[in-house]
C-alpha cells in the first residue's frame, strides 16, 4: 500500500475515535475508503446502521441523498458529507413540482419513491423502496390498482413485471446503469463466453433480459458468493469490484463496460474525509418540515421489510 494513503487512513481512524464517530462507505466508493470504513453497504443499509450505533458523528462516504437519509433517521447525530458537490443526477430527475403534477394527474394514486431521491421528494411520497424490495412495497398497496414510482423509470418498469398493478414510471435514470447496452454485453460475452451476467435493476429491460441474475448491489454480492460460476460479468458501478474480489479470491469478475463509473461517487477522497472531520464541516441536516414526512415514508418501508 502507498505510504501516504496508509498515513491518511490512520489519521482518519484516530480522528473518528477522538470524535466518537464512524465512517460509512458505499460499495461504490474508492477502495482506500472502503477499507477503513466501519460499515460498507448500500445507501439504506448504511443509514440504518447509523441508527444502531451510539456514535455522535456519522461521516457518510457516499452522495448527498444518502447523507440526508442518515440525518432523517438519526436527527440526534451529526452527519458529515465530505464533499457537498457529491450529488446524484438520478435524484435530481424528479422535482417537487413534477411530483405534485403527477399526483394531480393521478389523484389518490400512491407514490412509491426510490431511496435514491432527495429528502424533499421522500417527504411528498407515501412510502420509499429500494431496488431489493420494490416489488414487495408496490404489492403492499392491496387496495390500489395503480402506483406512481419515481424517479427511476428503469426500476419502475422492472418492478412492473412482478405485479398486477399498473406502475406509472418516473422519467429518471441512473446514467451509469442506463447507458449499459446489449452491444456492450455481447462484446464482453464474446471475450468471456462461459461467464454469467449479473446486473442491477436500474439497467434497461433489454439488458436485464440478457442477465443470469438481476439484483441490488447487496444481491449481486450474495450471488457472487453462492454461484458455482467461476467467471462473473458485473453490470453495476465499478466500485463493487473491490469487495467482490476480496470476498471471492477464486473467482474472476469482469466489468460489463469500462464506462460504468459514477463520477459523484468517486469525488470523495481521503483528504476530503480528513478535512471534514478536522473542521467538522459539511453538516447535512434536514429541517423538520421535510424530515418528519420523509421519515414516515422511510419508516413505512422499514416496517414492511421487518
> Where do the structural domains in the chain lie, given as residue ranges?
3-86+265-286, 91-173, 180-255
**CA dihedral over 180, 186, 190, 195, signed as positive or negative:** positive
What's the pTM? 0.95
Per-residue pLDDT of the chain (306 residues; tens, 9 = 90+): 577 999 999 999 999 999 999 999 999 999 999 999 999 998 878 888 888 999 999 999 999 999 999 999 999 999 999 999 999 999 999 988 899 999 999 999 999 999 999 999 999 999 999 999 999 999 999 999 999 999 999 999 999 999 999 999 999 999 999 999 999 999 999 999 999 999 999 999 999 999 999 999 999 999 999 999 999 999 999 999 999 999 999 999 999 999 999 999 999 999 999 999 999 999 999 999 999 999 999 999 998 876
CA distance 283 to 266: 20
Distances (CA, A) of 40 to 47, 76, 125, 241: 11, 22, 27, 13
Q: What is the pLDDT of residue 42?
A: 87
Same fold, 3-86+265-286 and 91-173: yes
> In this predicted structure, what is the pLDDT of residue 3?
79
Looking at residue 97, what is its pLDDT?
A: 86
Return all residues near 80 (Cβ < 8 A) that are at least 6 apart: 57, 58, 59, 60, 67, 276, 277, 280, 281, 282, 283, 284
Supply the pLDDT for residue 306. 66
Correct CATH for 91-173 of 3.40.50.300, 3.40.50.10800, 3.30.70.20, 3.30.360.10: 3.40.50.10800
Task: Name the β-bridge partners of 22.
Answer: 58
Q: Are 21 and 56 contacting, i.e. CB atoms less than 8 angstroms apart?
A: yes
Contact between 281 and 16 (Cβ < 8 Å): no
Cβ proximity of 47 and 69 under 8 Å: yes
Phi, psi of 130 (to 5 degrees): -115, 175
What pLDDT was estimated at residue 161?
A: 98
pLDDT at 44: 79
**Backbone phi, then psi, for 117, in 5-degree steps?**
-155, 165
Architecture of domain 180-255: 3-Layer(aba) Sandwich (3.40)
Strands, sheet with 196-199, edge to edge from the N-terminal-most edge strand: 213-214, 196-199, 231-235, 252-255
Q: What is the CATH number of domain 3-86+265-286?
A: 3.40.50.10800
Beta bridge partners of 233: 197, 254
- Measured in residues, the chain has a length of 306
Residue 95: the pLDDT is 86
135 by Cβ neighbours in 10 Å (0-12 / 13-18 / 19+) ranks as middle
Amino acid at each position: 500500500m502507498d505510504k501516504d494513503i496508509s498515513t491518511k487512513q490512520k489519521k482518519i481512524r484516530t480522528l473518528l475515535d477522538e470524535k466518537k464517530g464512524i465512517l460509512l462507505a458505499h460499495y461504490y466508493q474508492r477502495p482506500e475508503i472502503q477499507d477503513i470504513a466501519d460499515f460498507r453497504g448500500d445507501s439504506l443499509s448504511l443509514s440504518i446502521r447509523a441508527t444502531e450505533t451510539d456514535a455522535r458523528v456519522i461521516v457518510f462516504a457516499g452522495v448527498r441523498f444518502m447523507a440526508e437519509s442518515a440525518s432523517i433517521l438519526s436527527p440526534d447525530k451529526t452527519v458529515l458529507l465530505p464533499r457537498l458537490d457529491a450529488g446524484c443526477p438520478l435524484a435530481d430527475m424528479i422535482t417537487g413540482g413534477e411530483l405534485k403534477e403527477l399526483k394531480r394527474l393521478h389523484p389518490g394514486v400512491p407514490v412509491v419513491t426510490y431511496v435514491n431521491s432527495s429528502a424533499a421528494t421522500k417527504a411528498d411520497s407515501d412510502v420509499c423502496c429500494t431496488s431489493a424490495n420494490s416489488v414487495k412495497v408496490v404489492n403492499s398497496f392491496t387496495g390500489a390498482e395503480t402506483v406512481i414510482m419515481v424517479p427511476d423509470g428503469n426500476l419502475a418498469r422492472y418492478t412492473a413485471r412482478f405485479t398486477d398493478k399498473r406502475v406509472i414510471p418516473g422519467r429518471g435514470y441512473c446514467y451509469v446503469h442506463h447507458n449499459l447496452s446489449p452491444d456492450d454485453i455481447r462484446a464482453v460475452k464474446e471475450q468471456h463466453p462461459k461467464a454469467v451476467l449479473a446486473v442491477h435493476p436500474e439497467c434497461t429491460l433489454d439488458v436485464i433480459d440478457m442477465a443470469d441474475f438481476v439484483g441490488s448491489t447487496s444481491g449481486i454480492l450474495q450471488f457472487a458468493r453462492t454461484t458455482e460460476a467461476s467467471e462473473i460479468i458485473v453490470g453495476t458501478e465499478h466500485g463493487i469490484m473491490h469487495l467482490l474480489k476480496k470476498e471471492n479470491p477464486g473467482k474472476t469478475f469482469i466489468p460489463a463496460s469500462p464506462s460504468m463509473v459514477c463520477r459523484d461517487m468517486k469525488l470523495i477522497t481521503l483528504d476530503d474525509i480528513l478535512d471534514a472531520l478536522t473542521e467538522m464541516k459539511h453538516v447535512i441536516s434536514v429541517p423538520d418540515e421535510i424530515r418528519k414526512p420523509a421519515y414516515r415514508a422511510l419508516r413505512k418501508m422499514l416496517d414492511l421489510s421487518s
